[in-house]
Structure 1
Amino acid sequence: MIVAGVTVQGTDHLADATGCQDAFKARRLSGPPGAGPGVVLAVADGAGARHRSALGAHLAVDLACRLLADGVPAADADGGTWTAWAAERAGTLVTGWRRQAAALLGAGPGEGGGPGEGGGRRAGTAAGDPGDTAGRADPSRHGGARARAGARGGADQERAAGTGELAELAAGCAAAVLRPPWAAFVCVGDCFGVVLTRPASPGGPAERAHAVLPPPAAGDAPPLFLSSPSARARARSFALWDPDLSGLVLATDGCAPLVLDHPAARGLPPAAGPLPAEAFFGPLAETLRANGGDAEPLRALLSGAEAGRSGDDLTLLCGLTPTGGG
């Protein structure tokens, strides 16, 4: 399995010397003989207005990778089993993050999670388990969501992020398991996901990209973070099976202007929602397979002039099968 990820500080955050609040992490899946290769991917997006949200983002990806590596269904399990497992993991991610964040902040006894939810182990880090690769944001986040929240007023933003010290760690997170022909996703917040599949016929495009976890549309409910009171109820989770599954990509919402097309660009109505940019995903997957997962070309894409349109931090994490097929 080829894994490559990059975090790039947003231009707005460079201009105002705000630290980067994105994070990403990947973890190889172990399993019984014949289970096939697999990987867990996670990206997180801290709330730009919160001083400790970068720590909350690193806490989220660390916990998500550990939770989604636990109890992954067998490849021959049915869709109901995979879907129920993903839903349970989404709920556990929310409660586990809140307990671990409370423990990190020095809350009273009983607030820390159990072994399956982190329990404060390596709280706030994004590395440590064998087989992990971690992306650390060095120097921010959420210009888009911050602007939307500001338009709705401070009360909405406070309700969305929660209150008290926990809100200072506010972060959204998306995580996924890739074990072809299965993929399973959990998401709290504005991060999004794309899956890649082999071409339908010889001579077609190298790979097809499908937006399976779109970012929330403008005018949706207030921004959602793991610290939000409604996080568990509004968490998204699902599983999919596709014999042609060849990879997946997770990204924070700062990447949307670069990697997603407005439906009007394809002659479709707005209701069709954002669509993966064909000129981005196919060549990216081809490049990463050719260079064995060297992320430098990805960093160059996310650091270019076109990427600066969002002003926000940009994080993109790819998991690809080596041959472009399931």
Structure 2
Amino acid sequence: MIVAGAGVQGTAHLARAQGCQDAFKAVDLGDAAVLAVSDGAGSRDRSALGAHIAVDAACRLLARDIPAAQETPEAWTAWTAGCGKAVVEEYLRAVAGVSGDDASDPGDLAATLTAAVVAPPWAAFVSLGDGFGTLLTRDDRCHLVLPPPEGPTAFLSSPGAELRIRTFVVWEPELSGVVLSTDGCAPLALDHPTVRELPVSAGPLPADGFFLGLAAALRDNDGDAEPLRRLLSAPEAGSRTGDDLTVLCALVEEGRPWP
């Protein structure tokens, strides 16, 4: 498994002397990988800390007791749903631990979460907020399996977060990788449907050139994240979005037979 990621401070944040509020973390388990990215709420002073708490909690909990490849879809679905609830609970517990007397209002550490377990041929997702996830297949196709939701952004600290978190599982025998991104990457990584002569109702679509080029560069460099960091730091990237940009991916070794 090739696991690589990079986070870059947004140009708008840099202009306001505001630090990067994104965080990412990955756990490489050999035959599987756990990925998590988080975007702290820009209006909250301690949201960067909240983002780090979110990815730490997600990676710790999603790395436990991962179902075997031979398990049923029902087993995978139940396990993922349980993890989603547990991540929210662990985040709130950790936030309470650092908030002291303000533990009743965790909003200062508000953060989103987009996380995945990549265990071919399975991919399990846990998400709350406006991050997005893309699945790559061996026929060089990209599938936006976790599109950014419409409406106001929800955070792990939002009331009822444990009921709003999204969890789902994909079984894909041709799985070649999973890429998670924070919302700042949308102008770079997502195409408007009209670009492909589709109606607006089709929603955003993954930009094949972005994802396939990224995967090819990482494979050619044995997982060195420098090409990814250069891509996110390029002037044309900064001109399209002033937000922080974070991308994290796990690519399956080519030619690997599934269990």
> Could you state the TM-score of these two structures normalised by the residue count of structure 2?
0.95
Tell me which residue corresponds to 2:144: 211
Q: Secondary structure at the match of 1:171?
A: coil
Structure 1 residues 295 and 324 mapped into 2: Cα distance closer, same or farther (>3 Å)?
farther
Q: Does 1:311 align with 2:242?
A: yes
Q: CA deviation at 1:293?
A: 0.6
Percent identical across equivalent pairs? 60
Structure showing greater radius of gyration is: 1
Task: Give distance in 2, aligned partners of 1:280 and 1:194.
Answer: 11
1:283 pairs, out of 213, 228, 231, with 213
Tell me which residue corresponds to 1:99: 93
Task: Give distance in 2, aligned partners of 1:280 and 1:266.
Answer: 15
Equivalent positions of 1:170-181 (< 5 A) are 170-181=110-121
Q: Does 1:295 align with 2:225?
A: yes
Q: CA deviation at 1:306?
A: 2.6
Q: CA deviation at 1:107?
A: 5.3
Q: CA deviation at 1:4?
A: 0.8
Equivalent positions of 1:105-144 (< 5 A) are 105-106=99-100
Q: Secondary structure at the match of 1:104?
A: helix
Task: Give distance in 1, aligned partners of 2:110 and 2:231.
Answer: 28
Q: How big is each residue's C-alpha offset from its partner over 1:86-120, in whole Å with a ceiling of 9 and x where there is no partner?
A: 11111111111001110122359xx8xxxxxxxxx
Tell me which residue corresponds to 1:29: 29
Tell me if structure 2 keeps the 8 A contact 1:198–1:324.
Answer: no
Q: Does 1:193 align with 2:126?
A: no
Q: CA deviation at 1:305?
A: 2.5
Q: How big is each residue's C-alpha offset from its partner over 1:275-313, in whole Å with a ceiling of 9 and x where there is no partner?
A: 110111112111101110111111111112232212100
Deviating runs (4+, > 4 A) in structure 1? Answer: none
Tell me if structure 1 keeps the 8 A contact 2:3–2:28.
Answer: no
Query: C-alpha root-mean-square deviation of aligned residues, in Å?
Result: 1.5
Uncovered stretches (5+) of structure 2, i.e. residues with no partner: none
> Could you state the TM-score of these two structures normalised by the residue count of structure 1?
0.76
Uncovered stretches (5+) of structure 1, i.e. residues with no partner: 31-36, 112-162, 200-206
